[in-house]
Amino acid sequence: MTYATASTTDRPSLVDGVTNANLAATILRVSLGILFLAHAGLKLFVFTPAGTVGYFASLGLPGPLAYLVIAAELFGGIALILGAYTRWVSLALVPILP
């Protein structure tokens, strides 16, 4: 049985000096950070913190947990966009994924 060997041809990168994998990871990281900021903004400006607390209470969750969720989405989104401690921040944000 013979196997065809794939030749390793280097694809041109979209940005000089940056690999496509690094560029893809950056795009995904920034888009996820924007998503978290959008959810924090929704809870702050549309539903208001008091409304979010009431919603959490109606679900049977502790009301003050809403403030922690808003803070985590806000600061976690900023950290993801800036690229600061991305692995730890993303791991911390897993329990409150939107």
Q: Find out whether 52 and 43 touch, Cβ atoms under 8 Å.
A: yes
How many of the other CB atoms lie within 10 Å of CB of 76? 23
Q: Where are the alpha helices (DSSP H) in 1-98?
A: 20-41, 48-58, 65-82, 86-93
User: What does the pLDDT look like over 35-85, one tens digit per residue?
Assistant: 999 999 999 999 999 999 999 999 999 999 999 999 999 999 999 999 999
Q: Can you give the pTM of this predicted structure? A: 0.81
Distance (Å, whole) CA 29 – CA 35: 10
